[in-house]
A and B are shown apart, each in its own frame.
Chain A
Amino acid sequence: MEKPLVAIEDLHVTFRTQTREVSAVRGVSLVMGKEKIGIVGESGSGKSVTGRALLGLTPPNGTVAAKRLEFDGQDLRGLDAEGWRHLRGRRMAMVMQDPKFSLNPVMTVGRQIAEAYRTHVNAGRAEARDKALAALEAVQIRDPARVFDLYPHEVSGGMGQRAMIAMMLVAEPDLLIADEPTSALDVTVQMQVLAILDDLVARRGMGLIFVSHDLDLVAAFCDRVLVMYGGRVVETLKASELSKATHPYTRGLLDCVPRLDRPQEKLNVLDRDPAWLAGA
Chain B
Amino acid sequence: MILSARNLTVTFGEMRAVDAAAFTVARGESFGLVGESGSGKSTVLRALAGLLDNWTGELAFDGRALGRTRDRAFYSRVQMVFQDPYGSLHPRQTVDDALAEPLAIHKMDRREARIEKALEEVGLGRGFRFRYPHQLSGGQRQRVAIARALIVEPEMLLLDEPTSALDVSIQAEVLNLLDALRRRRDLTFVMVSHNLAVVAHMCARLAVMSRGKIVEEMDTESLRAGAARDPYTQRLMAASRGYDRALAESFRALD
Contact = CB atoms under 8 A, between A and B. Distances in A.
Interface of A: 42-43, 140, 157, 186-192, 194-195, 198, 213-217, 220-221, 252-253, 256-261, 263-264, 266-270
Contact of A253 (B169, B235, B247): B169
A263 B224 contact: yes
B179 interface: yes
Interface string B145-178: 0000000000000000000000111111101100
Given A188-B236, A192-B252, A257-B168, A217 B243 contact: yes
Contact of B179 (A190, A215, A266): A266
A99 B251 CA distance: 22
B170 to A, nearest CB: 8
A228 B10 CA distance: 44
B185 interface: no
Interface residues of B, number: 36
B48 to A, nearest CB: 23
Given A42-B167, A188-B239, A270 B138 contact: no
A217 B168 CA distance: 13
A258 B197 contact: yes
B241 interface: yes
B243 A194 contact: yes
Interface of B: 36-37, 138, 167-173, 175-176, 179, 194, 196-198, 200-201, 223-224, 235-237, 239-245, 247-249, 251-252
Nearest to A142: B255
13 contacts: A186-B37, A187-B36, A187-B194, A188-B235, A191-B239, A191-B244, A198-B245, A217-B242, A217-B243, A220-B242, A256-B171, A257-B197, A270-B172
A189 B236 CA distance: 11
